[in-house]
């Protein structure tokens, strides 16, 4: 317990560092020009622009590319609402495709990958007993990176429909947070003067989104801990 309390919140430090780097880059580099050109190109494609970005997101996730940068980029390029819709659809699609690939196409290869991950056995046993509930909790408080976990879930006993629904809902809080950070980075990097009310609303929105995400993550960890204790008592 003492060791866990001393552990630094690396995930949130990484998010903060990413947001800070985004703001610094927006100030020091001609990112505004680059983004403007990219936005003009995307706008010229119409709705296909968002679809194209979503396809790139799906392919990247299937190839184990971390999605944080693409999620921040969606907020930066498309704004909070459209960025959230694009990332939510793309991440859920990637999760579904990786699950199906692991279950029906490349099961033997994914099983070799699973044997190398010491956490998979515990996750497999937990999902066998509690199903989609454990998937949702692990999405809120991930023990395994997103791209890898999508394949590993395909080896478990969870059914496809509940898995996709639980993944979609449980991934929304983190999607809101990262897309909001990307959209906020764009707003702060535009260079115009803002009123105190605008700064206050921006800060309040960021604080509220971050607080909800942290709260849900902590609740998920507590529920996972309870589930482990319950399963241990059952075995004993």
pLDDT digits (tens, 9 = 90+) for 39-54: 677 767 777 888 989 9
Q: Grade residue 166 by pLDDT with cuts at 50, 70 and 90.
A: very high
Element (H, E) at 69: helix 68-100
Residue with the bigger pLDDT between 61 and 130: it is 61
Region of residue 131 (phi > 0: left; psi between -120 and 50: alpha; otherwise: beta): left
pLDDT computed for residue 165 by the predictor: 95
Q: How far apart are the first and last CA of the chain?
A: 23
Residue 202 has pLDDT above 80, yes or no: no
> Which token pair is 132?
């989609």
What is the distance between the alpha carbons of residues 73 and 79, in angstroms, rounded to a whole number?
9
> Which token pair is 174?
């983190």
Domain boundaries, the chain: 10-189+196-235
Q: Model confidence over 80-126: pLDDT tens digits?
A: 899 999 999 999 999 999 999 999 988 888 887 777 777 777 777 77
32, 83, 91 from 147: Cα distances, Å: 30, 20, 9
What is the distance between the alpha carbons of residues 162 and 131, in angstroms, rounded to a whole number?
8
Q: Grade residue 3 by pLDDT with cuts at 50, 70 and 90.
A: very low
pTM higher than 0.95: no
What is the distance between the alpha carbons of residues 23 and 159, in angstroms, rounded to a whole number?
42
pLDDT computed for residue 141 by the predictor: 73
In 3-state terms, what secondary structure has residue 147? Answer: helix
- pLDDT exceeding 70 applies to what percent of the chain? 61
> Which token pair is 104?
């029906």
Residue 235 has pLDDT above 50, yes or no: no
Residue 198 has pLDDT above 60, yes or no: no
Q: Grade residue 1 by pLDDT with cuts at 50, 70 and 90.
A: very low
Residue with the bigger pLDDT between 191 and 112: it is 112
The number of beta carbons lying within 10 Å of the beta carbon of residue 118 is: 7
Helices and strands per DSSP (H, E), number in the chain:
11, 0
Residue 146 has pLDDT above 80, yes or no: yes
pLDDT computed for residue 107 by the predictor: 83
């Amino acid at each position: 317990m003492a060791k866990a309390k001393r552990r630094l919140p690396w995930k949130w430090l990484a998010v903060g560092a990413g947001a800070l780097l985004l703001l610094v880059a927006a100030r020091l580099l001609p990112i505004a020009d680059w983004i403007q050109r990219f936005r003009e190109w995307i706008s010229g494609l119409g709705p296909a622009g968002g679809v194209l970005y979503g396809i790139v997101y799906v392919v990247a996730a299937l190839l184990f590319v971390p999605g944080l940068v693409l999620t921040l980029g969606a907020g930066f390029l498309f704004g909070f609402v459209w960025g959230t819709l694009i990332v939510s659809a793309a991440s859920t699609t990637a999760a579904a495709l990786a699950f199906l690939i692991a279950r029906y196409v490349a099961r033997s290869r994914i099983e070799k990958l699973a044997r190398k991950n010491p956490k998979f056995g515990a996750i497999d046993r937990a999902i066998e007993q509690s199903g989609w509930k454990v998937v949702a909790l692990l999405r809120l408080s991930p023990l395994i990176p997103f791209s890898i976990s999508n394949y590993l879930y395909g080896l478990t006993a969870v059914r496809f429909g509940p898995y996709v629904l639980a993944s979609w809902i449980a991934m929304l809080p983190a999607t809101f947070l990262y897309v909001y950070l990307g959209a906020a980075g764009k707003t702060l990097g535009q260079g115009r003067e803002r009123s105190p009310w605008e700064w206050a609303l921006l800060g309040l929105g960021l604080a509220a989104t971050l607080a909800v995400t942290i709260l849900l993550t902590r609740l998920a960890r507590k529920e996972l801990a309870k589930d482990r204790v319950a399963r241990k008592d059952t075995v004993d």
